[in-house]
């Protein structure tokens, strides 16, 4: 298990070393973070982008119980293979879970699973105008007990965006998953849709408003999950973005609130 994690993380410096240093006009920066949805844009070929969640706190409350999840080092490495195809490696370095129920407090911590993905853009890989992509992925059960899913999973993400003007873009992300069962053994069908509106406040500052609807058909019990999200990003330079965001649960099947912040850097 450790060897799989080390091999996945080793890709980052290798890709950085392989990325050619050349003066060229690059596409506008288009990170995966922040937000609930996924962009349709892909990386310029031969370039690497590292996206890192620096802090993420999630609160879930039930009658007589409370759970606090704290995550740091949520890493995503993206590399452009062709003008319209990129590969991704994702991994979470550390998650700490604190639960309190009936006066009893328990703690659990460890690393997350590794996720591998390809994103093939079908139209406008720079994300301009109307853009769409297909993104198959697989997750590997490398996470610690109680932190990782416990088994492999897979799925297909279909991001679509339509830039209506220089300031407003409509987003949609559809997803179908072979999600890991809650008991960590086997898979079940799950699917979701995220609707979003991106509003640029200036050349450097943008906001995203989102609504997520998901259906999970876990054998232990089916559930419908509703989330609303608001995030903001600041691009101080052409290759750097800082972000902050929050998600709010709209029904009892999701966490009550999540607050996060992070950074993206292109090389």
Q: How far apart are the C-alpha atoms of 135 and 121, rounded to whole Å?
A: 8
CA distance 130 to 248: 29
Q: Does residue 4 have a pLDDT over 80?
A: no
Q: pLDDT tens across 159-196, in order?
A: 999 999 999 999 999 999 999 999 999 999 999 999 99
Residue environment code for 257-267, b if the CB has 16+ CB neighbours within 10 A, otherwise e: ebebbbbbbbe
Domains of the chain: 2-266 (2.40.160.40)
Question: What average pLDDT does this structure show over 56-82?
Answer: 96
pLDDT at site 103: 84
Which contiguous run of DSSP H or E holds residue 205? strand 205-216
Q: Residue 88's pLDDT band (boundaries 50, 70, 90)? A: very high
Q: Is the pLDDT of residue 15 over 80?
A: no
| pLDDT at residue 10, as a whole number | 53
Reply yes or no on whether the pLDDT at 22 is more than 80: no
**What are the structure tokens assigned to 112, written together?**
């997350």
* Strand partners for 166: none
- Calculate the average pLDDT of the chain: 92
Predicted TM-score of the model (pTM)? 0.89
* CB-CB contact of 53 with 90 (8 Å): no
Rounded Cα–Cα distance for residues 164 and 161 (Å) = 9
Residue range 97-101: mean pLDDT, rounded: 94
Which percentage of the chain shows pLDDT scores above 90?
A: 88
Rg of the chain over Cα atoms, rounded to whole angstroms, equals 18
Q: Which ranges in 39-111 belong to alpha helices (H)?
A: none
Flag whether pLDDT at 20 surpasses 70: no
């Amino acid at each position: 298990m450790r060897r799989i994690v080390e091999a996945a993380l080793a890709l980052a410096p290798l890709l950085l070393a392989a990325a050619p240093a050349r003066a060229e006009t690059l596409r506008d920066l288009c990170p995966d973070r922040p937000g609930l949805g996924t962009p349709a844009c892909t990386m310029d070929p031969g370039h690497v982008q590292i996206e890192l969640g620096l802090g993420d706190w999630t609160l879930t409350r039930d009658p007589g119980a409370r759970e606090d999840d704290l995550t740091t080092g949520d890493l995503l490495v993206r590399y452009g293979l062709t003008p319209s195809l990129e590969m991704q490696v994702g991994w979470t370095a550390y998650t700490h879970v604190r639960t309190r129920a009936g006066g009893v407090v328990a703690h659990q911590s460890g690393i997350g699973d590794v996720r591998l993905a390809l994103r093939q853009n079908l139209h406008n890989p720079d994300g301009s105008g109307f853009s769409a992509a297909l993104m198959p992925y697989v997750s590997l059960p490398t996470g610690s007990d109680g932190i990782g899913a416990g088994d492999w999973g897979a799925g297909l993400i279909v991001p679509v965006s339509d830039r209506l003007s220089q300031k407003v873009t409509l987003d949609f992300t559809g997803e179908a998953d072979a999600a890991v069962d809650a008991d960590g053994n086997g898979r079940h069908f799950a699917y979701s849709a995220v609707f979003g509106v991106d509003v640029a406040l200036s050349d450097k500052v943008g906001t995203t408003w989102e609504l997520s609807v998901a259906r999970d058909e876990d054998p232990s019990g089916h559930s419908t999950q509703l989330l609303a999200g608001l995030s903001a990003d600041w691009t101080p330079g052409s290759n750097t973005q800082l972000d902050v965001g929050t998600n709010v649960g709209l029904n009892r099947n999701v966490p009550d609130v999540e607050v996060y912040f992070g950074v993206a850097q292109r090389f």
